[in-house]
Chains A and B, each alone.
Chain A
């Protein structure tokens, strides 16, 4: 058990809808990262938050947004969903943002857009 909690584990929705994925980092970790994993693209970095502030952006679509709350949990919002958004979404956390820190991953949320 990595200590990172993601909910829900599975999500099935329709095209055009909006969903929210939730992540609770390990106790004491201030950084939260969101990744998308698909069969053809592998693990793609979406966005990172550190202590409530956006720290870095990767390949995140404009239809996607995220935030980190004062209690350090994070939410990833996906809107106007398309079939191609079906993927496994992972949250990871680390202690800080000083570099060369290993990330601890949650078990992921499997999103299916029908």
Chain B
């Protein structure tokens, strides 16, 4: 059975204090690993898709990396507007219809 575990559950950073969020996964036939951002009361918003080990993608202060067992979301010099819950999800083979299997998320709070 596919499993996605995110750590830490919650993270508090001061503005400008860089850190990383972890997503460990076990899945047979990984088609893609996704990162989403979710603000309170809203639906998840797509950030990145990673397909193979060694791949990296960047968007503003965020960089996502992928290995065979885990993914990291690096946040460089975060700002208060980066506060949100960050969700990791894996997409497996066709028998699941390619639905995303999500972790429980990391709740990030960036204080001024």
Which stretch in B14-22, B59-67, B75-83, B90-98 binds the other chain?
B90-98
Q: Which residues of B contact A35 (CB under 8 A)?
A: 102
B87 interfacial contact with A, CB 8 Å: yes
Q: Which of B44-91 contact A (CB under 8 A)?
A: 44-46, 49, 51, 87, 89, 91
Q: Which residues of A contact B32 (CB under 8 A)?
A: 99-100
Q: Which residues of A contact B97 (CB under 8 A)?
A: 48, 50, 55-56, 97
Q: Which residues of B contact A97 (CB under 8 A)?
A: 97-98
Interface size on B, residues (CB 8 A): 27
Binding site for A on B (CB under 8 A): 31-32, 34, 36, 41-46, 49, 51, 87, 89, 91, 94-105
A25 interfacial contact with B, CB 8 Å: no
Are A102 and B49 also in contact (CB < 8 A) when A42-B102, A42-B104, A43-B102 are? yes
Binding site for B on A (CB under 8 A): 2, 4, 33, 35, 41-45, 48, 50, 55-56, 58, 90, 92, 97-108
Cβ–Cβ contact B43 & A4, under 8 A: yes
Chain B binding surface SS class = mixed
Cβ–Cβ contact A99 & B87, under 8 A: no
Cβ–Cβ contact B51 & A100, under 8 A: yes
Interface centre among B45, B95, B97, by most chain A C-beta atoms within 10 angstroms, is B97
Q: Which residues of B contact A55 (CB under 8 A)?
A: 97
Q: Which residues of B contact A45 (CB under 8 A)?
A: 96, 99-102
